Amino acid sequence: MQTKALAILVIDENTLRASIIEAGLRAAGHENVTVLHEVIGVAREIERVQPDVIVIDLENPNRDMLESMFQLSRSVRRPIAMFVDRSDDGMIEAAVDAGVSAYVVDGLRQERVKPILDMAISRFNAFSRMARELEEARTELESRKIVDRAKAILMKSRGMSEDEAYKLLRKTAMNQNRKISDIAQSLIVAAGLLEG
């Protein structure tokens, strides 16, 4: 990943702390840095800036503020590094559940910004890859269940073996240039209509 091409949004109400983060990012070669000092309307700013990465610094966040930021994290689907001065186990767990890629307690120093940002991006990419693979596995499992149901219908209605039923579904799918799971689903629907 070309780090200099990253668009980074820094959200921090404290101008001094924001300047530490910004300086750390610029020292690391990041030129496309936008600093936001107002939390109100942050979703609109994210939509406007379209950042690749978001860095949030909350000096002394209350639970409502953290929950608001966690909700933001769930919706933006981008790497988020969050600096806080203090936290507890519950907040750390909530941050992880919300998809915050790096949750750093009492660790805001200029020289730490870049490694933490890099880690946030790596963790986000790894998590996204795992989520994508999980979704593919779920889809594949669901497809197999549908094909199995369709095979069972064919076996019962036409007296076929399981292998013959599968071959018929596969051949029909190839002839119609469709997925075998689509053919199986159509068969299940048709069988349901005939039964009803």
Percent of the chain at pLDDT > 70 equals 97
29-59 confidence digits (pLDDT tens) = 999 999 999 888 888 888 888 999 999 998 7
148-182 confidence digits (pLDDT tens) = 999 999 999 999 999 999 999 999 999 999 999 99
* Angle ∠(113,68,56) on CA atoms, nearest 5: 10
Instruction: Tell me what the pLDDT averaged over the chain comes to.
Output: 89
Smallest CA-to-CA distance from 33 within 8, 64, 5 is with 8
Distance CA 193, CA 143 (A): 21
pTM over 0.85, yes/no? no
Residues 6+ apart with CB under 8 A from 75: 43
pLDDT of residue 3: 44
